[in-house]
Amino acid sequence: MSFFKTIKHWFTEAPHFEGTITASERIGARIQKVTISLPAPVAVPFPVGCFVQAMTWGVIPRAYSVATATTTSFTLLVSFSGMGAGSRFFAEAPIGTKVTCYGPFDDFPYHAGTGRTKIFFATSTGVAPFRRMVEIPLKEGFETALFLGTPKEADIAFKKEFEDLERANPLFHFIPVLSAGDTTWKGARGYVTDQFKGRGDLLRESDIYICGVPMMTAGVLAMLKKEGVPESQIFVQKFG
């Protein structure tokens, strides 16, 4: 396909829809949780691990992972810490704003039937695809751990939902890891990789899913390589 045909295809023929922002809530100091309603109900909610390309300011495409979805809407976690074009759009857009979205694109699926425990590594908004994904291995009967790195406790998205899930299901372990936690914080501190010193055996026995900032992704991948975790057990969604 020529360059111009590709551009024409992207803007006119690729699956897209006009969504409407119906809820927008600030989480801590760096995340906007945004709910976008669909123009018409769909038969099944957007798939786990998918992302949409939202046309911010009408013309600037930015990719966002779908955190939750129903047949009539879906929710995104938008980091506004950098205050780039996409961040500013979602941090400032009032309820009722129309957003053209392309997708959903289903490129970070869950891999069922491997017979291994699951470890999920996320930072900040990188937890979005894992909001629903962690529930699948639990239904399969596998031990599942979510390590979520973020500076402060207030910045933990879906904190209550993950804590409720941990209380309800002994197979699920939710481990927020704060890099700048207050003195009152009693949980894990540092970076997500700090939690695995001397636990190479656990990593080698698990499927590993990673989503978040490039520094965390690179750090986890280096740790996995050092510990000899086969690449076939590693699944990555790169945000940047």
Ligand X SMILES: Cc1cc2nc3c(=O)[nH]c(=O)nc-3n(C[C@H](O)[C@H](O)[C@H](O)COP(=O)(O)OP(=O)(O)OC[C@H]3O[C@@H](n4cnc5c(N)ncnc54)[C@H](O)[C@@H]3O)c2cc1C
Contact residues toward ligand X (CB under 6 A) are 51, 62-65, 76-79, 82-87, 125, 128, 237, 239-240
Other C-beta atoms lying within 10 Å of the C-beta of residue 191: 17
With respect to ligand X, which residue has the nearer C-beta, 86 or 181? Answer: 86
Query: Smallest gap, in angstroms, from Cβ of residue 184 to ligand X?
Result: 27
Residue whose beta carbon is closest to ligand X: 84
Q: Which lies closer to ligand X via its Cβ, residue 107 or residue 205?
A: 107
Measured from the CB of residue 85, what is the shortest distance to ligand X in angstroms? 4
User: Smaller CB distance to ligand X: residue 187 or 214?
Assistant: 214
Q: Which is nearer to ligand X, 38 or 203 (CB)?
A: 38
Nearest CA to 122 out of 23, 201, 212 is that of 212
As measured in angstroms, the least distance from the Cβ of 77 to ligand X is 5
Quote the Cα angle for 220-223-226, to 5°.
Answer: 150
Residue 99 or 203: the one with the smaller Cβ distance to ligand X is 99
CB of 144 to ligand X, least distance (A): 21
Of 134, 130, 180, nearest to 153 by C-alpha is 180
Give the residues across from 146 on adjacent strands.
120, 174
Q: Which residue lies nearer to ligand X by CB, 7 or 83? A: 83
Quote the CA–CA distance of 20 and 101 in Å, as a whole number: 10
Q: CB-based burial of residue 200 (10 Å sphere; 0-12 exposed, 13-18 middle, 19+ buried)? A: middle
Phi, psi of 179, rounded to the nearest 5 degrees: -90, -15
Q: Beta partners for 210?
A: 121, 236
Name the minimum Å distance from CB 176 to ligand X.
Answer: 18
- Min dist CB 13 to ligand X, Å, is 21
Q: How far apart are CA 76 and CA 209, in angstroms?
A: 19
Would you state the structure tokens that stand for residue 70, as one six-digit string?
Answer: 């129903």
What's the min distance (Å) between Cβ of 89 and ligand X? 8
Phi, psi at residue 225, to the nearest 5°?
-65, -45
Tokens 């966002």 — which residue?
Answer: 64
Q: Residues 146, 174: contact at Cβ < 8 Å?
A: yes
CB nearer ligand X, residue 139 or residue 218: 218
